[in-house]
Amino acid sequence: MHDVQSPPVQEQLPGEVVALAASEGLGELRASFLPKRMGAGRIAGLAFFSLFGLLVFVLPGLLFIWQLLQAPNFNRKQAAKRIHCFEHGLIVSDRSGPVAVRWDSASVLQQITERYANGVYVGTSYLYTLFKRDGSTIELTGFYANPEVWGAAIQHEITRAQLPGVLDLLSRGGTAHFCDIAVNAGGMATAKRGTLPWSEVQRVEVKNGMVFVEKAGKLLPWSNTPVRKVPNFFMFLAVVDHQRGRS
């Protein structure tokens, strides 16, 4: 597990998680991540607005109470949710039961958004959508603690497991697709821009949630694609770096 040397949480795994990990061949447990608990300040704020809302508006007060009751601090079912990261995949445990995903067959989309209010940074939201081989999906958000750790780990582990196969595909004349960008041994291509040989790729830059591909001798980007639309984003960057290095 990338950047995770030992599990942040050490606890005995439920029997159903152990059985599922064994049946899927997930190997050794690397890390477990718990729900993020609500801070004392936020609890106090919600409690105040709950009381104020019940006295004045009723419905808003009930909404604030519902938010409090959904917090892992007060909701046992929410508090029991987990992300278990293993050597060859992960298991997500929630109220519907554990679900397993293998690194060698999964695809992931990430959406990381910094939020501002009146120009002041107020937080970052995380959404990782995992696609299984059977077409089903799992969404993981900042509901779980340390999303900057488990999110990057998911991307790195998928890259580690699948990159050799993708590079082999390209070496045999195949094409790998990352959203609107097709990559092969000769270069990159999009439906709108046509083909760009590797020798003409000046730079691939990630800025403000966008992937910009710059063509040598051109001021404007050859293409720009939102990171949130690029499947296996880390692997895309690794493939591009490898192919540019070969050229």
pLDDT tens track for 183-213: 999 999 999 999 999 999 999 999 999 999 9
Average pLDDT over all residues of the chain = 86
In the chain, the number of structural domains is 1
What CATH number does residue 226 fall under? 2.30.29.30
Identify whether 199 is part of a domain.
yes
Strands (E), 68-135: 82-86, 89-94, 97-102, 107-117, 120-131
Q: Which two tokens stand for residue 233?
A: 């984003």
Confirm whether pTM is higher than 0.85.
Answer: no
Is 74 within a domain? no
Among all chains, which residue has been given the structure tokens 């607005």? 49
Judge contact between 82 and 204, C-beta under 8 A.
no
pLDDT value of residue 67: 55
83 domain-assigned = no
| Residue 118 pLDDT | 83
Comparison of pLDDT for 118 and 58, the residue scoring more: 118
Average pLDDT over every residue of 42-64: 51
Domain presence at residue 194: yes
Residues spanned by the domain of 179: 173-246
pLDDT in tens, 94-136: 878 899 999 999 999 999 999 888 888 888 999 999 999 999 9
Cα–Cα distance for residue pair 172/160, rounded to 1 Å = 20
Banded pLDDT at 56 (limits 50, 70, 90)? low
Q: Does some domain include residue 192? A: yes
Mean pLDDT of 217-224: 91
Distance CA 167, CA 176 (A): 9
Is residue 177 situated within a structural domain?
Answer: yes
Q: What is the mean pLDDT of residues 215-236?
A: 94
Question: Are the CB atoms for 83 and 26 separated by under 8 Å?
Answer: no
Question: % helix / strand / coil in the chain, to the nearest 5?
Answer: 35, 35, 30
Q: What is the pLDDT of residue 93?
A: 92
Q: What percent of the chain has pLDDT over 70?
A: 80
Answer yes or no: is 212 within a domain: yes
At 138, is the secondary structure helix, strand, or coil?
strand
Q: Is 183 exposed, middle or buried (0-12, 13-18, 19+ CB in 10 A)?
A: buried
Dmax (CA) for the chain in angstroms is 70
What pLDDT is recorded for position 175? 97
Please give the average per-residue pLDDT across 64-89, as a whole number.
Answer: 74
Higher pLDDT among residues 4 and 117, named by residue: 117
More confident of the two residues 28 and 76: 28
pLDDT value of residue 63: 55
Distance (Å, whole) CA 178 – CA 173: 17
Q: Is residue 214 part of a domain?
A: yes
